[in-house]
Chains A and B, each alone.
Chain A
Amino acid sequence: DVKVTQSSRYLVKRTGEKVFLECVQDMDHENMFWYRQDPGLGLRLIYFSYDVKMKEKGDIPEGYSVSREKKERFSLILESASTNQTSMYLCVSGRVADTQYFGPGTRLTVL
């Protein structure tokens, strides 16, 4: 069974903290993505990666960075969390032209 797992379902952090969101896929996919989902705004692409150590900015990369040291793992980093980064974060694995698989999401609250 295809799996995309995210390290936490719920996370509460304080303003200014460094936050790591981890995503692991078991499908040997080259492409992995991070989106955030907010009511009324839909899903917005933060960063994506098409290979180990490769990354590309999406539509809203400000305040975020990513790390892809191994093919199966794609991490999203909030260097200094702010309240406007409170959101649902979704990791995706696979190519758009094929079938993409979403993780269950991490609901992050920044206080």
Chain B
Amino acid sequence: TQLLEQSPQFLSIQEGENLTVYCNSSSVFSSLQWYRQEPGEGPVLLVTVVTGGEVKKLKRLTFQFGDARKDSSLHITAAQPGDTGLYLCAGEVDFGNEKLTFGTGTRLTIIP
């Protein structure tokens, strides 16, 4: 199974700064999802993108799906301590087969 590579693996920034995390693969995905996981909890779905080039916004978070549907990015504007967590991307290669390939994760820490 092709893993999705996420970068950076760790990121620690000051409150109020902007940041971008990346999710890359050599595989084409029919859809891609972003999750946030807090310590001691399971991941929570943030967004699903399905169309190449698609951009979705969730308050201060902007998600983009690459034109070729092989990569994605998550941009956070004016980061807040509540954004701290493990961010995971996950892609479905074949629509409907119910198998997700997960990325290795970006652990984000926002310093007050």
Contact = CB atoms under 8 A, between A and B. Distances in A.
A44 interface: yes
Interface stretch (B55-63, B66-74, B101-109): B101-109
What interface size band does chain A fall in? 20 to 34
Contacts of B35: 102
* A-B CB proximity, top 7 nearest: A102-B42, A43-B102, A42-B102, A42-B104, A59-B1, A102-B43, A96-B98
Interface residues of B, number: 24
Contacts of A75: none
Contacts of A48: 98-99
Nearest to A90: B42
Given A50-B98, A59-B1, A41 B104 contact: yes
Interface in A64-111: 90, 92, 95-97, 99-100, 102-105
A61 interface: no
29 contacts: A31-B98, A33-B98, A41-B3, A42-B4, A42-B88, A42-B103, A42-B105, A43-B88, A43-B90, A43-B100, A43-B102, A44-B102, A45-B99, A48-B99, A50-B98, A58-B99, A59-B1, A95-B98, A96-B31, A97-B31, A99-B45, A100-B45, A102-B35, A102-B43, A103-B42, A104-B40, A105-B40, A105-B41, A105-B42
Contacts of A31: 98
Given A97-B31, A97-B95, A104-B40, 19 more contacts: A9-B40, A31-B98, A33-B98, A35-B102, A41-B3, A42-B102, A43-B100, A43-B102, A44-B1, A45-B99, A50-B98, A58-B99, A90-B43, A95-B98, A96-B31, A99-B45, A102-B35, A105-B40, A105-B41
Nearest to B89: A42
Contacts of A40: 104
A35 B100 CA distance: 10
A51 to B, nearest CB: 12
B3 A42 contact: yes
Interface string B8-27: 00000000000000000000
B42 A104 contact: yes
